[in-house]
Amino acid sequence: MSTITTKDADNSKHQCAACGDSDDGGGSLKACTACNLVKYCNRTCQIAHRPAHKKACKKRLAELFDEKLFKQPPPDEDCPICYLRLPIEGQSTYLSCCGKMLCDGCVYANTVAAADTERYKCVFCRTEAPSSDGEEIERTKKRVEGNDVQAMLNLGSHYRLGTNGLRQDHAKALELYHKSAKLGNRCAHYNLSVCCEKDIRKATYHRQLGAMAGNVHARYNLGCAEGKAGNMDRAFKHWMISANDGCDKSMKRVQEGFKRGFVTKDDYAKTTRAYGISIDEMKSDDRDRYASAFATKEVNSNNN
């Protein structure tokens, strides 16, 4: 059996990389499912060629993964009340009655403007607010039964922290986080990365999945880990992507990187523009009023 190199196989798309036999364009050869660089007659040829192909396969697999990892994710969804992009820094409220995520600006505006009888009803579906932590938990559990990924995340956090009347149960929290993450919740991946931070491999895995789905905190932490490892190019790639989505911490890192020569003038200008656009998309008068009221409340609480 003759053996040809991977490079030769790349130049001849209709030849088996192991034995060199051709299918004359008939489509009978099967591509390597990992890298798609080479093709084989059968499983026997694939196994025989594995030692020669292994290095190139792993390299291409890493390149394909990086293409996904460093791709700009889609922006956050919009608030269903004001139709502005939801904030990324936590100024959002999940409503267990209807399963909607609203910006705190809309929730605050309703609280201030509505009549006393309407003030504490859901802004979206007008359901009465829960009268106790227990009622809130029961509503959340019902949403979990309907495969609501955000409800799974919230309930998992209550178990992890032992809040809202639930006993602390880390196993139950992880179970809910994993289920939520499996169904596509990027914040669940971030929470799992925090829970698994002692296991660097698992933490990195969940940070990467969370970052690719659009969680800026997972992306920021990936940048920090790469920077700590001395991989500054990869670190600033992560920070520029999350800064593009409006992450303040990442934008500060990019500014520092530009001053130190790690970020080019062109990349810095593009990131600054994208950051500004994201901030504008998440900004509203109601959100500013909520932030001001919350800050005042915090000051008064600390003074007391």
Query: Of the ranges 106-115, 189-198, 222-231, which one carries the lowest mean pLDDT score?
Result: 106-115
pLDDT tens per residue, range 95-124: 999 999 999 999 999 989 888 878 889 999
Supply the pLDDT for residue 295.
85
Q: Is the pLDDT of residue 3 over 50?
A: no
What is the percentage of the chain residues whose pLDDT exceeds 90? 82
Distance CA 263, CA 267 (A): 6
Q: Is the pLDDT of residue 303 over 70?
A: no
Q: Is the pLDDT of residue 10 over 90?
A: no
> Residue 52: which of 15, 9, 12 has the closest Cα?
9
Q: Is the pLDDT of residue 299 over 70?
A: no
pLDDT tens per residue, range 233-265: 999 999 999 999 999 999 999 999 999 999 999
3-state SS string over the chain?
Answer: CCCCCHHHHHHCCCECCCCCCECCCCCCCEECCCCCCCEECCHHHHHHHHHHHHHHHHHHHHHHHHHHHCCCCCCCCECCCCCCECCCCCCEEEECCCCEEEEHHHHHHHHHHCCCCCCCECCCCCCECCCCHHHHHHHHHHHHHCCCHHHHHHHHHHHHHCCCCCCCCHHHHHHHHHHHHHCCCHHHHHHHHHHCCCCHHHHHHHHHHHHHHCCHHHHHHHHHHHHHCCCHHHHHHHHHHHHHCCCHHHHHHHHHHHHHCCCCHHHHHHHHHHHHHHHHHCCCHHHHHHHHHHHHHHHHHHHC
Q: Is the pLDDT of residue 187 over 50?
A: yes
pLDDT category, 297, cuts 50, 70, 90?
Answer: confident
Supply the pLDDT for residue 302.
67
The pTM of this model reads: 0.86
Mean pLDDT of the chain: 92
> Residue 179: which of 146, 199, 149 has the closest Cα?
149
Q: Is the pLDDT of residue 7 over 70?
A: no
